[in-house]
Amino acid sequence: MPETVEIGLGRSARRGYHLDDIALVPTRRTRGQAAVSTSWQIDAHAFDLPFVAAPSDAVVSPASAVEIERLGGLAVLDGEGIWCRYEDADAELSGLTDETGRLQEVYAKPVSPDLLRARIAGLRTAGVRVAVRLSPQHTAELAPHALAEGVDLLVIQGTVISAEHVLREDQPGLNLKTFIADLDVPVLVGGVTNYQTALHLMRTGAAGVIIGYGAHLGSTTHSVLGIEVPMATALVDAAAARRDYLDETGGRYVHLVAYGDLATGADIAKALACGADAVMLGEPLASATEAPGHGLYWDATASHPRVPRSAIVDFADGDPHRPTLEELLVGPTSDPSGERNLFGAVRRVMGKCGYSTVKEFQKAELIVTTTR
Amino acid sequence: MPETVEIGLGRSARRGYHLDDIALVPTRRTRGQAAVSTSWQIDAHAFDLPFVAAPSDAVVSPASAVEIERLGGLAVLDGEGIWCRYEDADAELSGLTDETGRLQEVYAKPVSPDLLRARIAGLRTAGVRVAVRLSPQHTAELAPHALAEGVDLLVIQGTVISAEHVLREDQPGLNLKTFIADLDVPVLVGGVTNYQTALHLMRTGAAGVIIGYGAHLGSTTHSVLGIEVPMATALVDAAAARRDYLDETGGRYVHLVAYGDLATGADIAKALACGADAVMLGEPLASATEAPGHGLYWDATASHPRVPRSAIVDFADGDPHRPTLEELLVGPTSDPSGERNLFGAVRRVMGKCGYSTVKEFQKAELIVTTTR
Amino acid sequence: MPETVEIGLGRSARRGYHLDDIALVPTRRTRGQAAVSTSWQIDAHAFDLPFVAAPSDAVVSPASAVEIERLGGLAVLDGEGIWCRYEDADAELSGLTDETGRLQEVYAKPVSPDLLRARIAGLRTAGVRVAVRLSPQHTAELAPHALAEGVDLLVIQGTVISAEHVLREDQPGLNLKTFIADLDVPVLVGGVTNYQTALHLMRTGAAGVIIGYGAHLGSTTHSVLGIEVPMATALVDAAAARRDYLDETGGRYVHLVAYGDLATGADIAKALACGADAVMLGEPLASATEAPGHGLYWDATASHPRVPRSAIVDFADGDPHRPTLEELLVGPTSDPSGERNLFGAVRRVMGKCGYSTVKEFQKAELIVTTTR
Amino acid sequence: MPETVEIGLGRSARRGYHLDDIALVPTRRTRGQAAVSTSWQIDAHAFDLPFVAAPSDAVVSPASAVEIERLGGLAVLDGEGIWCRYEDADAELSGLTDETGRLQEVYAKPVSPDLLRARIAGLRTAGVRVAVRLSPQHTAELAPHALAEGVDLLVIQGTVISAEHVLREDQPGLNLKTFIADLDVPVLVGGVTNYQTALHLMRTGAAGVIIGYGAHLGSTTHSVLGIEVPMATALVDAAAARRDYLDETGGRYVHLVAYGDLATGADIAKALACGADAVMLGEPLASATEAPGHGLYWDATASHPRVPRSAIVDFADGDPHRPTLEELLVGPTSDPSGERNLFGAVRRVMGKCGYSTVKEFQKAELIVTTTR
C-alpha cells in the first residue's frame, strides 16, 4: 500500500521521496571493480554505459554525438532543435546568453524537415547509432522524415505526456498506442511521472519509458506549473508498472530511463537502485569542452514562447579548466564533488553493495536519510 | 480522520500542509489549451480569470481597477485605505518608503465617508464592477455609505475573523449572521483558517469565504501572533465545510477564495486543486507598472498603530523593466520564474492534468513532496 | 501515549516538538482587547504581565528591576552575578566585549555575601518585589544571607537540575526536597526538561518550576552537551506533571515558567498555549536602552571557567534607535518583526483565539506547521 | 521492528537517524564531575578517554601520537600514509594545499615496507602504545611487516568493508575471518554501516568494529557514491548486533568505535549514548598546533587516483590562535562552540544525565528533535 497522509478533512495525498531523501546501504559481500559490469542493452543496441545524452541543443550536437558513442553512451539529437532549424547552428549557439528572451527568438524559426533529414544522414555517415527526439505535437508531421532517413531509436518526449491527448473537445490528438505499434524502430517515450501513465505507455509497445522531465538546477516547472516529480517514488512506481506489464504480457520487458534530479554519480546510482535501467543526462554534461552550448544549459522548456519553464544556467562560468566528456563520464578525475567520473563512481558503489550488473543492483537496499 | 500527532503527554495537534509541501500529479489524459477554461462565476458576475485583486492600496487604485477588469479579474478597493482617507491619494503614495512608522502616520488620518462614496461613484462611472473591502470593526459605520452608492460585491475582511465577535464581556460586536443576511449584494467574508469558522461564516449567507489572511513575503503575523495557516490544509478543510453546508442547505454553494502563500502560477494551481474557486492576489501584482504602490507592497496589517504585522516589501527594487499587469496575469512572458503569466501557467497545468474547468480541477491528484 | 519512533533495532526515542514547529489556530469566537487579561498571580504576588526577567547580568540590574516592576513584570537578580561580586558593577559591565575569555575573568572573582545582602536591601528600599537567583551548588551557602535580608521569591536555577544531586559516590548534594519544604518564601526552581523531573521538583513544595534552560541565539548547549529541549513538548509534558500532582495533592497548583526559544510575541503566546503560566525572558530584553549589558547578552553558562556553553551576542549592534523596555514589553511599536510590544501581541492573539485569561488560553488549539 | 516507509509501490526503506536528529534527555538524578569516569579499556589496554585518533596523515604523526597517548587517547598511524611512503614526510606535508590533484600525486608513490617498520620502531622507542591502520587491499602484504615489528593494535579499515570480498568472479579476496582469527594482537576493523556486516565482522574475532567511514565536512562520499550512514541508527543497529553476538558466544564483548559526523562534545556524547564504546576522531583535531597537516584535513579517500571522495578542508584558515591538542581534548577552553574541551563536555553531560561510566551512559534517554 502506498504511504498516504490526510492533508485536510477527507483529502489524502501520497508522500513522495526524492533521490536526495534516500541513500544506498552496503549490506552484502563487497566486489572488486573487475567483477562489476555497467553494460546496458535495449532492443538490439548494446552500450557500455546505462546512459542516454538528453536531447538538448546544449549538449548533443552531431559532433558531440560521435564522442558520446565512443565513450559508451547513446546521444539523442533534438529533431526540433537548433540543428534542425538553422543551417549554421554553431553561429546561433555562439550568440546565446542566459537571456530567455533571446532563446525564444532563436527557437521561433520553424523546423526544417530537410535539415532534419540532413542531420540524420550526417550522423549515419559518422557511424554512430542515431536517436532523434520529437515532441508529441510534431511527431505526426516530422516522424516520417526521420524514419525515412533511418533512425535506430525514436524518442517521443514532452514535459509530461499521456497515451491519450485531447486537443479540444471531441478532437483527439496523436494516438501513441497505434502510432508506436505501427513502427519498426524501437521507441523511447516520456516524460512520465506515475504508475498509471507508465503502464499505459508500456502498452503502446514502446521499448522504453522516460521517467521524469529532466528537472534540474535551472528547471522552474515546479514554480510555474506546480508539477514536481519525487524521482525515487516515480521510479519505484514505474518499476511496479513494469512488473505488472511483464505479467500481463507474459514477458515483455520495458526499459525505464530516469531523467531528472541527476547531478552526481550518487544520483545515478540511486536511480538505478530504484529501478531505472539507464539514465538520461543533460545538465551534468553542459560543462564539457565538447558541449555545443559552450557551458550554458537549457532544454526545450526554456524556449517556450509564452510560458518558459526553465532558466538558462551557466555551468562553465568562466572556468578555464572545463572537463572533457571522458572525464565527466568515465574519468579519471581529481574532482571529489561527485560530478565527474560519473560512471566510475557508479561501478564502484555497485561493487561496494555487492552487485555485478545493473539489473541486480535494482534490488539494492535503501535507507531514508532525511528525517528533517 | 485528520492526521494528528501527540506533541507531548496528553496533548494532540493536527499536522498542517503548506502549498509548498504538495505538488500536482498529472495522471489522466492530457488536454490542449483550447480544451481548457479558467472562467469563474460568483453570483451574477462572470470573470475570465478565477482572480480577485486584494484590497491593498499598493495594488488597487481606481485606475488599476479598470485594467484588472479588462484583463478578466475583479479588483477590490480598500474602503478604509488611502483613497478613502485622502483627496490626493497619489501624493501620499508617492511619499511612502519602506518605513512602517511613516505608514502608521499616513493611515492615522480618519476614513472619510464622503471620499468612500466618491471613489465608488468614480468606479461605476468607469464602467467596472465595484467591490469594496471594509473591516469588521467599521462595517456597521461605513457599509451604509458603500451600499447607498451601489457596490456589486461587499468584502468584509480582517486578518482573522469569526461569525461571533465579543467586544468586552456581555457586549457583542457586529453580528455577521444577521448583517449579511439582510443585505441584497453578495458578500465575500474572511479571513478564515479552519473548518468550523468557515462553516459558521457560510451560514451567514455570504457568497464566498476568504481562506487565509494574505500571508506573503512581508507578513510577520506568524512571528507577531503565532498564527500561521498551512494553506493546503486550510483550503481542504474549508472545502469539507462547503460540502457539509451544501448538504445542510440542499444545494447552496459558497465560493472559496484563497488568500496567502500565492506567489506563482504553481501556487495558484495548487490552491485551486485544494478546493479554491478563485484566488485573491496582492503581493504578486506589486511590481506591475500600473501598481499604485510604485513597486512597494503592504497590506492593512502593516499600518496597525500598535502591533504592525507586516513589513513593507519593495518588489520593484530599482528594476527598469517592471512588467505590466497583462504580462503578470495572462502573458506572454520571457520570465521562467513562475511569477509572470500566472494564469497562462494555470491553464497549461490544468490541461496537463487533464481537466477542462476549475471545478473539475479541484479533484486533481496531489502528492506530498517534502519528506524533509 | 507519547509519540515514539524506533531509531534503530530495539531502541526507541520520543519525538519532540519545538515552538517553531507549531502555530495557534483561531477556532472559537474572537474577542476584543478590552475583554482580555494577561494578569498573573503566583503565591501572594500579582503581576499585570505573565513575565519574569531572567537572572542575567545583561538585563537585570537594581535599576532595570524597578522599571520591570513598573511595567508589570518580575525581575530576578542573579545572586551570583556581577552585582554581587563587584561594588562597582557598572565599571565591569562597561568593559565587556563579546569575548568569552574576558567574561571568564570577570566572573572568576568570588561572590560577596555582603554585597548580595546590600543589593537585596537596595531593591527593598526601591519598593520593588525582590527575587534572587542562586545556583543549586551555592544555595546552601548563600540562601541564608538572601533570606535574612528578605526576598519575596527565591529562584534556584541551573542549566539542568534534579531533585537529587550526587556529588560523588555516597555523598549527596543539596536535597531540594527538604530545603524548599523548610522555607517560608515561595521558590521557583529549574531548569527542567521532562515530566519526571518536573514532578519530583513539584513535590519539593516549589511554587513554580522553570521549564528549559533559556536556550537562545547565543546558546551552544546543544553543541557542547547534546542536550536540547523541544520547548512545546517539554511544556506539555510538564503540564501533564502538574495535572498529576494536582490530583496527588488534592489541589496544589504549581506554576510553569517557560525559559528558552522565546524571541517574539508569537513564541510567548505558543508557550502559554502549551501550558506555561508565565515566561522568563532574557535575550529579548538585551537591546533595551535600560539593559545593563549595553546591548550584549550572556547568561551564567557563558562564563563557565572550563566549558562555556553560550556565546555572547550583541543585540544592539550599533543601532542608534534601541527600544525602551516599555516598547519591548507593552508597546506601542512600529517594528513589525514580532520582537517588540511582546505582550501587546500576546493580548491580541488571545483575543483572536477567543480566550479571556492565560489559564483559559492554555487550551488553545495547536497545529503542527512543519511537515518539512 | 525497524521503522520503515514505503517509498513507492512495493518498495520499502528504513528510516535512518543522524546524530543531529537526536538529543540527550536528562531524566534521572544528576551527578557531580567527581562521580563520573570516561575511562575505556579494550583488550589489555586502558585509556583515560574513550578516544582513538583517526589514521589520517593530517592528524597522526609519530610526534603527535606521543601527545595523544599522554592526554589519554590512542593514536592510529596510517600504515599506508605519507610517513610510510616518504623518508622526509614533513617536507611533503608542508607542500600540500587544498588541491586534490596534488594529493593524488603525493600518494602515488608506493608504500615502503621498510619505512613502515621504521615508523613502528620509532613509536615503540617513544614509549607509546602502537596502533597501525592498513587497508583491506594491502593487509595481506603489509601486515606481516607491522606484526614483526610489534604493534599493540592492528586497524584494518576501508570506507566500506565486508567480511567477504570478491575480487572477480570465482576469485575471493582477503578472508578476514581466518586472517583475524589467526592473529595474536587485537584488531579493530571497519567501516561498517549495518547490523549484518557488523555481526559478520564480530565473528571474525575482531576486538572492535568501526561504525561509519569518518564522514565529515569535507566528505563527498554521499555525493560520489550515494552511500550515507545515519550514525545514530548505525550505532544502535551495531549495538543490537553486539547483544546478539554476546548471546551467541556466551559473553564475548566486541567494542564499537564510532567514526563520522563527530565535530563536537555533543556529537561524541550522543554517539556513546547510542552504543559506542569509543569514538575515532580526525577532523576535530586538524586545527591543533601539533597536527602534522598544518591545519588542513584529508583522509585516505581524498587521494584516490580515479574517484576521490573527500575534499581537503582548511581548519586553521589563517587563525593565529590555533588550539593545542590538550585544549581540544580535555580543556579548559574559552570557546563556547562545543568544538573544544570535547571530553570535558562529555564528562559533564554524563553527570547531568546521571551516569557514572560510559557503559551505563549507553542507556541514556534520547529524543528526536527534528520534526522538520
For the domain that residue B303 is a member of, what is the CATH number? 3.20.20.70
Q: Is the dihedral of CA B240, B245, B248, B250 positive or negative?
A: negative
* CA-based nearest distance A94→chain D, Å: 32
Indicate if the pLDDT at residue D2 is higher than 80.
no
| C-D contacts (CB, under 8 Å) | 188
Q: Which of B2, B273, B352 sits opposite A160 (nearest CB)?
A: B352
Q: Which chains touch A (3 or more CB pairs under 8 A)?
A: B, D
- For residues B312 and B293, the answer to whether their CB atoms sit within 8 Å is no
Cβ contact, residue pair B7, C27, below 8 Å? no
- Tell me the pairing of strands C51-53 and C30-31: unpaired
* CA-based nearest distance B318→chain A, Å: 19
Q: What part of B 167-196 touches A (C-beta under 8 Å)?
A: 195
Angle between helix D113-126 and helix D136-149 axes, rounded to 10 deg: 50
Partners of residue B337 in chain A, C-beta under 8 Å: 220, 223-224, 311
Q: Which of A31, A349, A354 sits opposite D227 (nearest CB)?
A: A349
Q: Which of A9, A14, A302 sits opposite B236 (nearest CB)?
A: A9
Q: Tell me which amino acid residue B366 is.
A: L
CA atoms within 13 A on the CB side of A172: 9
- For residues C219 and C239, the answer to whether their CB atoms sit within 8 Å is no
Cβ contact, residue pair B367, A6, below 8 Å? no
* C268 Rama sector, left if φ>0, alpha if ψ -120 to 50, beta otherwise: alpha
CA B196 to chain centre: 20
* CA-based nearest distance B357→chain C, Å: 30
Cβ contact, residue pair D307, A24, below 8 Å? no
CA D248 to chain centre: 26
Partners of residue B355 in chain A, C-beta under 8 Å: none
For C280, the 3-state DSSP assignment is strand
| A-D contacts (CB, under 8 Å) | 188
Indicate if the pLDDT at residue B372 is higher than 50.
no
Domain that residue C220 falls in: 19-368
Give a yes or no: residue A2 inside a domain. Answer: no
Average pLDDT over residues B182-197: 94
Output the pLDDT for position A2: 66
CA A20 to chain centre: 18
Give the separation between CA D42 and CA D188, rounded to whole angstroms.
10
Cα(first)–Cα(last) distance of chain A, in Å? 24
Q: Which of C160, C224, C230 sits opposite D369 (nearest CB)?
A: C230
Q: Which of C10, C227, C305 sits opposite D24 (nearest CB)?
A: C227
Average pLDDT over residues B140-163: 94
Q: Which chains touch D (3 or more CB pairs under 8 A)?
A: A, C
Q: Which of D8, D13, D224 sits opposite A265 (nearest CB)?
A: D224
For A164, name the nearest residue in chain B, comparing CA atoms only: B29
Output the pLDDT for position C372: 43
- DSSP H or E run through A101: helix A100-106
For D105, name the nearest residue in chain A, comparing CA atoms only: A334
Indicate if the pLDDT at residue B371 is higher than 70.
no
Indicate if the pLDDT at residue B86 is higher than 90.
yes
CB of A15 within 8 Å of a chain D CB? The answer is yes
Q: Is the peptide bond before A320 cis (omega within 30 degrees of 0)?
A: no
Give the separation between CA D369 and CA D24, rounded to whole angstroms.
10
Give the separation between CA A315 and CA A297, rounded to whole angstroms.
7
Give a yes or no: residue B64 inside a domain. Answer: yes
Average pLDDT over residues D138-146: 96
Indicate if the pLDDT at residue D165 is higher than 90.
no
Cβ contact, residue pair A227, B349, below 8 Å? yes
Q: Across all residues in chain D, what is the average pLDDT?
A: 94
- For residues A343 and A329, the answer to whether their CB atoms sit within 8 Å is yes
Give a yes or no: residue C1 inside a domain. Answer: no
Task: Decide: pTM greater than 0.80.
Answer: yes
Q: Which residues pair with A6 in a beta bridge?
A: A12
Please work out, in degrees rounded to the nearest 5, the angle formed at the alpha carbon of residue D362 by the alpha carbons of D358 and D365: 125
Residue listed under C-alpha cell 534572587: C132
| A-B contacts (CB, under 8 Å) | 188
Three-class HEC string of chain D? CCCEEEEECCEEEEECCCHHHEEEECCCCEECHHHCCCCEEECCEEECCCEEECCCCCCCCHHHHHHHHHHCCEEEEECCCHHHCCCCHHHHHHCCCCCHHHHHHHCCCCCCHHHHHHHHHHHHHHCCCCEEEECHHHHHHHHHHHHHHCCCEEEEECCCCCCEEEEECCEEEEEHHHHHHCCCCCEEEEEECCHHHHHHHHCCCCCEEEEEEEECCCECHHHHCCECCCHHHHHHHHHHHHHHHHHHHCCCCCEEEEEECCCCHHHHHHHHHCCCCEEEECHHHCCCCCCCCCCEECCHHHHCCCCCCECCEECCCCCCCCCCHHHHHHCCCCCCCCCCCHHHHHHHHHHHCCCCCHHHHCCCEEEECCCC
Give a yes or no: residue A10 inside a domain. Answer: no
Give a yes or no: residue B222 inside a domain. Answer: yes
Ranges of chain A whose pLDDT falls below 70? 1-2, 168-172, 371-372
Average pLDDT over residues B21-42: 92
CB of B5 within 8 Å of a chain A CB? The answer is no
Output the pLDDT for position A371: 62
For C275, the 3-state DSSP assignment is coil
Q: Which of C26, C237, C267 sits opposite B8 (nearest CB)?
A: C237
Give a yes or no: residue B13 inside a domain. Answer: no
Give a yes or no: residue C4 inside a domain. Answer: no
For A263, name the nearest residue in chain D, comparing CA atoms only: D223
Q: What part of C 218-257 touches B (C-beta under 8 Å)?
A: 232-237, 239-240, 243
ipTM of the complex: 0.95
Q: Which chains touch C (3 or more CB pairs under 8 A)?
A: B, D
DSSP C32: -
Give a yes or no: residue B164 inside a domain. Answer: yes
Q: What part of C 141-160 touches D (C-beta under 8 Å)?
A: 159-160
Give the separation between CA B94 and CA B99, rounded to whole angstroms.
13
Give the separation between CA A86 and CA A57, rounded to whole angstroms.
12
Closest CA to B193 of C369, C360, C348, A226: C369
CB of B66 within 8 Å of a chain A CB? The answer is no
Closest CA to A235 of A73, A365, A52, A362: A362
Cβ contact, residue pair A367, D228, below 8 Å? yes
Distances (CA, A) of D173 to A93, B360, D160: 52, 62, 15
Output the pLDDT for position B175: 86
Give the separation between CA C25 and CA B191, rounded to whole angstroms.
12
- For residues D173 and D139, the answer to whether their CB atoms sit within 8 Å is no
Give the separation between CA C319 and CA C331, rounded to whole angstroms.
19
Output the pLDDT for position C371: 62
**For the sheet containing B30-31, what is the strand order?**
A171-175, A164-168, B30-31
Name which of A5, A11, A164 to mutate to probe chain B: the one with the most chain B Cβ atoms within 10 A of its Cβ.
A11
Partners of residue D166 in chain A, C-beta under 8 Å: 29-32, 35, 354
Give the separation between CA B84 and CA B75, rounded to whole angstroms.
16
Q: Which of C8, C159, C163 sits opposite D233 (nearest CB)?
A: C8
- What's phi and psi for A215, nearest 5 deg? -50, 135
| B-C contacts (CB, under 8 Å) | 189
Residue listed under C-alpha cell 485606475: B63
Interval B223-261: pLDDT, tens = 999 999 899 999 999 999 999 999 999 999 999 999 999
Cβ contact, residue pair C369, B169, below 8 Å? no
Name which of D224, D231, D366 to mutate to probe chain A: the one with the most chain A Cβ atoms within 10 A of its Cβ.
D224
Cβ contact, residue pair B8, C2, below 8 Å? yes
Name which of D9, D211, D368 to mutate to probe chain A: the one with the most chain A Cβ atoms within 10 A of its Cβ.
D9
The cell for D306 is: 580515479
Output the pLDDT for position D372: 43
Q: Which of C236, C341, C352 sits opposite B7 (nearest CB)?
A: C236
* CA-based nearest distance D361→chain C, Å: 13
Interval B170-186: pLDDT, tens = 666 778 889 999 999 99
Closest CA to C230 of B227, D354, D367: D367
Q: How many domains does chain D have?
A: 1
For D362, name the nearest residue in chain C, comparing CA atoms only: C11
**For the sheet containing D11-15, what is the strand order?**
A22-25, A365-368, D11-15, D4-8
Interval D352-368: pLDDT, tens = 999 999 999 999 999 99
Cβ contact, residue pair D25, C194, below 8 Å? yes
Per-residue pLDDT of chain C (372 residues; tens, 9 = 90+): 568 899 999 999 999 999 999 999 998 788 888 899 999 999 999 999 999 999 999 999 999 999 999 999 999 999 999 999 999 999 999 999 999 999 999 999 999 999 999 999 999 999 999 999 999 999 999 999 999 999 999 999 998 888 777 776 666 677 888 999 999 999 999 999 999 999 999 999 999 999 999 987 889 999 999 999 899 999 999 999 999 999 999 999 999 999 999 999 999 999 999 999 999 999 999 999 999 999 999 998 999 999 999 999 999 987 888 999 999 999 999 999 999 999 999 999 999 999 999 999 999 999 999 864
Most confidently modeled range among A118-127, A310-319, B310-319, D214-223: A118-127
Name which of A369, A370, A372 to mutate to probe chain D: the one with the most chain D Cβ atoms within 10 A of its Cβ.
A369
